[in-house]
Amino acid sequence: MLVLVDLDDTLCNTWEAGRYSVLRLVPYLLRRRKFRAFFYILTARYRELEQLRDLHTLDFDKLVERVMRKVYAKVDRGELEEITELVDRVFFSNLRLYPDALPFLEGVRGLGARLVLITDSSTKWQRKKLEYLGIKDHFDALIISGETGHSKLEPHNFRLARHLFPDEEIYMVGDRDDTDMRGGKEIGATTILVQRGYFRGRLARHADYVVKDLLEALEVIRREHEKRA
Ligand SMILES: [Mg+2]
């Protein structure tokens, strides 16, 4: 039995912590008369970033730089560093595991499953989150898009997980339908969508189950596992 789990907005409150960062960024931008960047945030133009494949593997500072370069023809190095530092600091001071994350990880382990984290974004940023949240040792393997060079919009990382731990019984737990759920389906996993964070409320096209939290997800896995026994 193999359980694949996503990190951002599944195990921890990435979107919420990111929102705090952006809120803190607003007065900074206004003070420096960066009105175009302010409107970029205000009008939620960042949604256009969702489908950029290479963005899923970029480092955090590169991500900030990419956004600023979309808005401004010329970007000041010092200003860029200040913004990155501010966003990073506020982000990590607000980043938390969801209360059901540890019971879920321990529960899955208790069922005798192999546990693999499968997550987008850069190596440095994702490893810093894992370090900060203290959950790295719960996993048999970490598959990070920044390390494999493939985002979860492609099947590569899911196939890699199955290749590392070949198993007939696979579950994929995550919050995003067009990456976590679709990728899970690519390798024949039972897919469980946890509805929370940035993507909550989106259509679930590739999910076998839609649940409200990780305790429900654990129940689904337990039930399915018993059925197969
Ligand atoms: Mg996620």
Q: How confident is the model at residue 157 (pLDDT cuts 50, 70, 90)?
A: very high
Contact 172, 184 (CB under 8 A): yes
Closest CA to 60 of 9, 127, 105, 12: 127
The position carrying tokens 């694949």 is 4
Q: What's the CA-to-centroid distance between 194 and ligand 1, angstroms?
A: 9
Q: What's the CA-to-centroid distance between 9 and ligand 1, angstroms?
A: 5
Q: What's the CA-to-centroid distance between 18 and ligand 1, angstroms?
A: 13
Q: What's the CA-to-centroid distance between 199 and ligand 1, angstroms?
A: 8
pLDDT digits (tens, 9 = 90+) for 11-25: 999 989 988 988 898
Q: Which secondary structure element, helix H or strand E, spans residue 163, and what is its range? A: helix 156-164
Q: What's the CA-to-centroid distance between 73 and ligand 1, angstroms?
A: 31
Q: What's the CA-to-centroid distance between 224 and ligand 1, angstroms?
A: 23
Q: What's the CA-to-centroid distance between 6 and ligand 1, angstroms?
A: 6
Q: How confident is the model at residue 202 (pLDDT cuts 50, 70, 90)?
A: confident
Residue 194: pLDDT above 90?
A: yes
Q: What's the CA-to-centroid distance between 141 and ligand 1, angstroms?
A: 17
Q: Rounded CA gap, 84 and 65, in Å?
A: 8
Q: Rounded CA gap, 23 and 198, in Å?
A: 16
pTM, full prediction: 0.90
What pLDDT score does 55 carry?
A: 67
